[in-house]
Chains A and B, each alone.
Chain A
Amino acid sequence: MSATGRPDAVALPAVGELLAGGDVKACCAAVYEHPAVRWLLGGELHPGGEATTRRALELIGVRPGERLLDVASGIGTSALLAAREYGCLVAGVEYGEGAVVDAQRAADAAGLCDRVGFIVGDAGALPFEDGQFEAVLCECSLCTFQDKPRAIAEIRRVLQPNGRLALSDVVVDRPLPPKLDGALATVACIGKALSRDGYEDLLAGAGLRPTAIESRDEDAAALAERINDRLRGARVLGLDRMAESPVAIEEAIELVRAARWAIAHGALGYAIFAATR
Chain B
Amino acid sequence: MRNGGQDHLAVNSAASTSAGPPLGRTQSICPRCSAVLDAELLVRDGRVVLSRECPDHGEFEAVVYGDADRYLEIQRFNKPGESPRERQTEVAHGCPRDCGICPEHAQHTCLGIIEVNTACNLDCPICFADSGTGPQEHGYSLSLEQVESMLDAFVRAEGEPEAVQLSGGEPSIHPEILEILAAAKRRDIPLVMLNTNGIRLARDPRFAPALAQLRVHVYLQFDGFEEATQLAMRGRSLTAEKLQALDRCAEAGVSVSLAAAVERGVNEHEVGAIIGFGIEHPAVTGVFFQPVTHSGRFRLDSDPLDKLTNSDVIVAIAEQLPEWFRADDFVPVPCCSPSCRSATFALYDGEDVVPLTRLVDVERYLDYVTNRAIPDLDVREALEGLWSAKAAGGSARVAERLECVACATAIPAELREVAARGFMVVVQDFQDPYTLDIGKLRKCCVSEITPDGRLIPFCAYNSVGYREQVRVEMSRATDGNGREGRR
Residues of A within 8 A of B (CB): 1-2, 4-10, 35, 39, 42, 226, 229-230, 232-233, 235-239, 242
Contact = CB atoms under 8 A, between A and B. Distances in A.
B349 interface: yes
A7 B407 CA distance: 8
Contacts of B361: 42
Contacts of A233: 347, 354, 358-359
Contacts of B58: none
Contacts of A226: 358
B55 interface: no
B238 interface: no
A1 B412 contact: no
Measured as residues with beta carbon below 8 angstroms from the partner, the interface class of chain B is 20 to 34
Interface string B410-422: 1111110011000
B28 to A, nearest CB: 40
A10 B413 CA distance: 11
Contacts of A238: 349, 415, 418
B376 A1 contact: yes
Interface string B323-349: 000000000000000000000000111
A238 B351 CA distance: 12
Contacts of A239: 411-412, 415
B353 interface: yes
B301 interface: no
Given A235-B352, A236-B348, A229 B410 contact: no
Given A7-B410, A242-B414, A1 B375 contact: yes
Nearest to A43: B361
A7 B412 contact: yes
Nearest to B346: A236
A267 B418 CA distance: 38
B415 to A, nearest CB: 5
A235 B349 contact: yes
Interface string B384-420: 0000000000000000000000011111111100110
Given A5-B408, A233-B358, 4 more contacts: A1-B375, A1-B410, A236-B348, A237-B415
Contacts of A8: 412
Given A226-B358, A229-B359, A236 B353 contact: yes
Given A1-B376, A238-B349, A35 B410 contact: yes
B322 to A, nearest CB: 13
A1 B410 CA distance: 9
B376 to A, nearest CB: 7
Contacts of A7: 407, 410-413
Nearest to B406: A237
Interface of B: 347-349, 352-354, 358-361, 375-376, 379, 407-415, 418-419
Given A1-B408, A7-B407, A7-B411, A236 B349 contact: yes
B409 A39 contact: yes
A4 B359 CA distance: 12
Shortest 5 CB-CB distances between A and B: which pairs? A229-B358, A4-B410, A233-B354, A236-B349, A233-B359
B409 A1 contact: yes
Contacts of B409: 1, 4, 39
Contact of A39 (B358, B410, B414): B410
A232 B410 contact: no
A97 B347 CA distance: 36
A243 to B, nearest CB: 11
| Residue among B347, B414, B415 with the highest chain A CB neighbour number at 10 A | B415
A237 B349 CA distance: 7
A237 B410 contact: no
9 contacts: A4-B410, A5-B410, A7-B413, A42-B361, A232-B352, A233-B347, A242-B412, A242-B414, A242-B415
Nearest to B408: A1
Given A236-B348, A238-B418, A229 B354 contact: yes
Contacts of B379: 1
Contacts of B418: 236-238
Contacts of A1: 360, 375-376, 379, 408-410
Contacts of A5: 408, 410
Nearest to B351: A236
A5 B409 CA distance: 7
Contacts of B347: 233, 236-237
A67 B418 CA distance: 49
Contacts of B352: 232, 235-236
B359 to A, nearest CB: 4
B410 A10 contact: yes
B412 A10 contact: yes
Contacts of B415: 237-239, 242
Nearest to A11: B412
Contacts of A237: 347, 349, 411, 415, 418-419
Nearest to A229: B358
Given A10-B412, A39-B409, A230 B358 contact: yes
Contacts of B412: 7-8, 10, 239, 242
A197 to B, nearest CB: 36
Contacts of A39: 409-410
A7 B359 CA distance: 15
| Residue among A8, A232, A239 with the highest chain B CB neighbour number at 10 A | A232
Nearest to B411: A237
B410 A9 contact: yes
A42 B409 CA distance: 10
Nearest to B353: A236
Nearest to B413: A7
A226 B379 CA distance: 21
B455 to A, nearest CB: 37
Contacts of B413: 7
A147 B361 CA distance: 37
B349 to A, nearest CB: 4
A2 B352 CA distance: 27
A6 B410 contact: yes
B205 to A, nearest CB: 35
A104 to B, nearest CB: 20
A103 to B, nearest CB: 17
A235 B411 CA distance: 12
A42 B357 CA distance: 12
Contacts of A230: 358-359
| Residue among B353, B410, B412, B415 with the highest chain A CB neighbour number at 10 A | B410
Nearest to A231: B354
Nearest to A42: B361
A238 to B, nearest CB: 5
Contacts of B410: 1, 4-7, 9-10, 35, 39
Nearest to A8: B412
A271 B76 CA distance: 32
Contacts of B419: 237
